[in-house]
A = this chain, B = another copy of it.
């Protein structure tokens, strides 16, 4: 699919069928994620991939009920949890070619472990559209982060960004509410030209 068409079509879908996604498609989603850029090419990320019914059943209790948990959301045959690993970045920038001899977090002007893993997550969302599938990115309930880590054996220094469902859109999926386009911020409000506060 044309790149611009993928960008235009991508939106969060919360209603799926249980139609399977081929393992090689899952591999392409992950391969795209691994092509994300990263500060210092640190690649401080990991991806927990849940494709067995039993594994996905273990996952859903950690997701906020009010926001995302609909029965058809849980039919999606693929759940991917992107995880950011800050320690990789602190170690990377302590290497000699970066010229920093300590691992101080203050060296970092922004938390690239989250930013880069977010970019990898977007590549999963976009690649799903390119594969004719749909996807949704959603948060994990904050007070469920610790039990979620325990359930899946995730070390404390890996921070989950949330979950990504991938699958086939349910045929009766509600159309995107007009409110979404109405609420989209336009360039006139968020683009500043030459100086902050100068628009147009």
> Is A20 among interface residues, defined by CB-CB distance under 8 A?
no
The answer to whether B109 touches A141 (Cβ under 8 A) is yes
Q: What residues of chain B lie closer than 8 Å to A185, measured between beta carbons?
A: 34, 43
Q: Could you say how many copies of this chain the assembly holds?
A: 2
Complex CA–CA separation, A149 to B140 (angstroms): 33
Complex CA–CA separation, A49 to B193 (angstroms): 5
Digitize A107-145: 1 where CB-to-B-CB distance is under 8 Å, 0 elsewhere: 111111011111101110111001000000101111001
The answer to whether A123 touches B123 (Cβ under 8 A) is no
Chain B, residue nearest A36 (CB):
B122
16 contacts between A and B (CB under 8 A): A1-B3, A7-B35, A11-B37, A34-B184, A36-B122, A43-B183, A43-B184, A55-B195, A107-B142, A108-B142, A109-B145, A111-B114, A114-B115, A119-B122, A152-B195, A152-B196
